[in-house]
Amino acid sequence: MLTGLSIRDVVLIEALDLEFGAGLDVLTGETGAGKSILLDALGLALGARGDSGLVRHGAGQAVVTATFDPPSPDLAAMLDENGVEVEPGEPLLIRRVVKSDGGSRGFVNSQPASAGLLRELAPYLVEIHGQHDDRGLLNPRGHRALLDAFGRVRPEETARAWERLRAAEGKLAAARAEIEAAARDREWLEHAVDELTRLAPEPGEEEALADKRRGMQRAEKIAGELETVADCLEGSNGGISCLRQAARVLERVGEDHPALAEALAAVDRAIIECAAAEDKLREARVALAYDPRELEADEARLFDLRGMARKHRVQPDDLAALAEELSGRLQRLEAGEEGIGKLEAQVAAARAEYDKAADALSERRRAAAARLDDAVAGELPPLKLDAARFRTNVAPASPDNWSGAGKDRVEFEIATNPGAPFAPLAKIASGGELSRFLLALKVSLAEQGGAATMIFDEIDRGVGGAVASAIGERLARLAERTQLLVVTHSPQVAARGDRHFLIAKASDGTVTRTSVRVLPENERREEIARMLSGATVTDEARAQAGRLLEAA
């Protein structure tokens, strides 16, 4: 709900601070007093084009601040998605600044906001109904949702069926695309699978082969050195043989001197160590022994693996997975028609399910449309639209426009004269008729809610007497559920207001200003009397004004 509107330097308004409450707020004033300026100022705060012509002459900038009740959960979520922080329970402040050079800035709770974001906020906050409004009830894009809300038609089952259909169609399309791509490359695919099958790569094989090859190449390099060591240790002239010969000589003479016995013990130890070295050398030669043919085979295998990896632009360790993937593609291609058939059957089943749910939804909409048509028809005669007809056109949408909300295109249409064809609201109704049609429709839809604040701009234009009374009575009924701001020329409508704002224009000879103030009860009767009688207020007009206020 709109709780306050602060205006600075907008056209003829120098400074203005207004407070609004629940119920029906009426705005009156003489023609040309500037009633439209208030709506222009509010529109500016809600993202309308920031025209420099709105800046009061001589001022550097115009500023409008609109204050609303704390945002609803849906609105708070939308603000959060756009990076605007809102404290729970705190009012929503929207401010728009327009400079005299045409530049503008927007703010939501002191945080910068684009004009586009302000326009996104507007439908959550205010509905403006009038002949120049191209949103709300005049926009066919919202008619289906309004009808569903009126008829309590819930499309959830259809939405679930639509999601299942879309998922099935997606799988079918992906399978067809894969088969088509595979079919184009079938010859290459068969050749690649054959090559990889014959190669039979294994994960980690390339690294294992490389390590083994490095070991054999190293063994090839040190084979000569090992032979030299063996020659030094083994054989009749080797080190061990000489040590054993020396030991035998020392055994014969060892008793002749203690040092010879010690020498013999040392030689025995050397023999033992040399024998151990001989064993280790033999073990190493066995371990490092290689078959040149095996080295050649491993090198050829390694070459084949790396060459295949380069060919397919993968790592050698990924060849096994690639072989499995390409084999799967080939198998799916060969069994493709059977798989496609199954997916086509799934799509057909999902489409039948969606058709059933959407058709049932259409039936419920047509039933709701008939009830809405009856409700609106009952509102038209008191509004002097008894020759007009209203209908909710529920028609099939093109398949391209089917969705989780069903297959229907919904549009509100009217025929203003007997025998005249039905057409969209905005195209055939005059300004006054259109406003009254919108009022009838809004009253019929009242229980379904909408924005917390609704504005009707001169809805009573061109009517008076009983029709104006009927309009006032319906506005009062609407105001029981939501806040209404009504710009009116009708005393019958003004008398229904919970608060009465008077808009006046005054000039001191050099500067013209527009002012707005809330009228106390005695001044309110005087204003309604002026609306009844014109420039000269008569006692009879005052008496009539009193009766209107009492009747309200």
H/E stretch holding 487: strand 483-487
CA dist 515 and 446 (Å) reads 33
Q: What is the mean pLDDT of residues 194-211?
A: 86
Q: What is the mean pLDDT of residues 479-484?
A: 88
Report yes or no: 483 and 25 within 8 Å, Cβ to Cβ: yes
- Scan for tokens 């003829």, then name that residue: 12
Report yes or no: 261 and 254 within 8 Å, Cβ to Cβ: yes
Report yes or no: 370 and 388 within 8 Å, Cβ to Cβ: no
- Scan for tokens 């390339």, then name that residue: 206
- Scan for tokens 């049609």, then name that residue: 437
* Sign (positive or negative) of CA dihedral 455, 461, 467, 468: positive
In angstroms, the Cα distances linking 249 to 123, 255, 270 are 118, 12, 15
Q: What is the pTM of this model?
A: 0.61
Strand 126-129 relative to strand 111-113, pairing: unpaired
Strands (E), 170-315: none
Report yes or no: 387 and 417 within 8 Å, Cβ to Cβ: yes
Alpha helices in 15-154 (DSSP H): 35-45, 73-81, 115-125, 143-151
Strands (E), 298-388: none
Among candidates 418, 455, 406, 464, which has minimal Cα distance to 435?
455
pLDDT of amino acid 134: 45
The two structure tokens encoding residue 365: 């909409």
Is a pLDDT exceeding 80 seen at residue 371?
yes
Q: What is the mean pLDDT of residues 496-525?
A: 87
Average pLDDT, the chain: 85
CA dist 65 and 107 (Å) reads 9
Chain segment 483-509, per-residue pLDDT in tens = 999 888 889 999 999 999 999 888 877
Higher pLDDT, 534 or 480: 480
Give percent above pLDDT 70 in the chain: 93
Strongest mean pLDDT among 271-285, 331-345, 368-382? 368-382
pLDDT of amino acid 290: 64
Sequence-distant (≥ 6) Cβ neighbours of residue 219 within 8 angstroms: 288, 289, 290
Strands (E), 47-135: 61-68, 92-99, 104-108, 111-113, 126-129
Higher pLDDT, 219 or 524: 524
Is a pLDDT exceeding 60 seen at residue 357?
yes
Furthest-apart CA pair in the chain: how many Å?
A: 165
- Scan for tokens 């919904």, then name that residue: 410
Q: Specify the amino acid at residue 56.
A: R
For 381, half-sphere exposure in the C-beta direction (CA atoms, 13 angstrom radius) is 4
Report yes or no: 208 and 214 within 8 Å, Cβ to Cβ: no
Residue 477 phi/psi, 5-degree rounding, is -65, -45
User: 3-state class of 457 per DSSP?
Assistant: strand
Q: What is the mean pLDDT of residues 209-230?
A: 73
pLDDT of amino acid 186: 77
For 44, half-sphere exposure in the C-beta direction (CA atoms, 13 angstrom radius) is 33
pLDDT of amino acid 353: 97
Report yes or no: 456 and 127 within 8 Å, Cβ to Cβ: no
CA dist 65 and 96 (Å) reads 7
Q: What is the mean pLDDT of residues 347-368?
A: 96
Among candidates 219, 149, 65, which has minimal Cα distance to 445?
149
**Rg of the chain taking only CA atoms, in angstroms:** 47
pLDDT of amino acid 370: 95
- Note the Cα 466 to chain centre separation in Å: 49
* Sign (positive or negative) of CA dihedral 408, 413, 418, 421: negative
Report yes or no: 88 and 98 within 8 Å, Cβ to Cβ: no
Chain segment 390-435, per-residue pLDDT in tens = 999 999 999 999 999 999 999 999 888 888 888 887 676 566 677 7
